[in-house]
Amino acid sequence: MRKYCQSRTLIMSDLTTNTELSPPGRDEVVGVARGMATAVAPQSGITAVQATILRAVTQAVTGFEIDYCALEPLGPDELATLLARRGMEYRHRIVHHMVLAEIVLTPLPADVATRVASFAAALGVTDDFVRLAHHYAKGTLELAAFDLQRDGFLDRWSEERSAPLHTEKALADPFEDALVDTELEARWERFAALDEGSLGHAVSGMYRERGFQLPGTVGAASAYLAQHDFVHILAGYGTRMESELEVFALIGRADPDPKGFAWLATMIGLFETGYVAAHGPFKVNVQEHHLQLPGMDVRLADAIRRGKVISEHYRRDLLEVDFHELANWPVDEVREQLGIPPKSPEAIAAGSAGVFDAGGISDFQHEAGRRHT
């Protein structure tokens, strides 16, 4: 036992000091895949949804195609040894891929949540979303919702972060119901008069086409949540539920703080599993399992890949950007400034639609826009 503890200490020491940044080779990717599959598989074996998502994410991020249904097991200590030369951020993202694959399970078995936690501990990763999965497994969804809101969003919020929102008053809570703010409403109204092709003109067109309420008016989304609408334009994602999964996967992964994963965890809880009842203007809707729609694995994985590229280039939370200051810039110039890469051809072929594409708007939104005009 003492020898085991000593070797574990050596592994943990290496994990906290090494920061190898070179791209992983196939042997490492296969080893990581074995570890992830071992961590997330229920007793009956890894599910088709889990395997499909992990395969797509692995291919998008590393370029290697891995069959997650045909892997030999790899335990937590073996995975820790394999990743001993990698830094904390690298290992943290591996844990998030595990969490992604476990929180799509309904119900989430307790032994899976415990196993993922053991892998995270072996990798030296302390993560709030590992605890979130434990709540899901226990069925304590109210506590899970509280932790998700607090750990993912509120603990990082400060009133100073209201500055890019241009609200009349600093927000104590980024998701509080929108307050009447005539100056903020006027700011958003002025976007419509900007040059065609500008970011502001495009986001104004998106709102008009869907009948969305402008920030600062009754019934609108909070000014903070409205920030993500600029990303819809810049990343080229529509506003159907599947597209919301894409845009928030990109936003969450683009955030250099691992807590950004809260966005993807929230959207999966809302639109796939029902673990999350509501978030801002979004309400739970699991009539369709959106992650199981044809091509969604490729689309989600590509959004994560694009977010990774942005994070490595920009190193800043996209929702902290002062998009109002960039509203008169051409969309392509803002994309270049933030380092937003194009979608992959595979994601486009899988059905990833842009804001103004026919597949980028729901029937309900289209009808609301028609009534609004």
**What does the pLDDT read at residue 11?**
38
**What does the pLDDT read at residue 92?**
98
| CB of 55 closer than 8 Å to CB of 65 | yes
- Residue 364 clears pLDDT 80, i.e. is over it: yes
Q: Which helix (H) or strand (E) holds 53?
A: helix 48-62
88 closest CA partner among 127, 34, 40: 127
- Residue 237 clears pLDDT 90, i.e. is over it: yes
- DSSP classification of residue 322: -
Helix then strand count (H, E) for the chain reads 17, 2
Q: How does residue 368 score in pLDDT terms, banded at 50, 70 and 90?
A: confident
| CB of 264 closer than 8 Å to CB of 307 | no
- Residue 9 clears pLDDT 80, i.e. is over it: no
Q: How does residue 93 score in pLDDT terms, banded at 50, 70 and 90?
A: very high
In our burial notation (b when 16+ CB lie closer than 10 A, e otherwise), range 30-45 reads bbbbbbbbbbbbbeee
Helices (H), 173-222: 182-190, 199-210
309 closest CA partner among 372, 245, 250: 250
Where along the chain do its domains lie? 2-137, 156-372
User: Which residues is 278 bridged to in the sheet?
Assistant: 283
Give the model confidence (pLDDT) of 310-340 as tens digits.
999 999 999 999 999 999 999 999 999 999 9
Give the model confidence (pLDDT) of 172-231 as tens digits.
899 886 679 999 999 999 999 999 999 999 999 999 999 999 999 988 989 999 999 999
Give the model confidence (pLDDT) of 105-145 as tens digits.
999 999 999 999 999 999 999 999 999 999 999 999 999 99
Question: Rounded distance, CA 68 to CA 47, Å?
Answer: 10
- Kindly report whether the global pTM for this prediction surpasses the value 0.85: yes
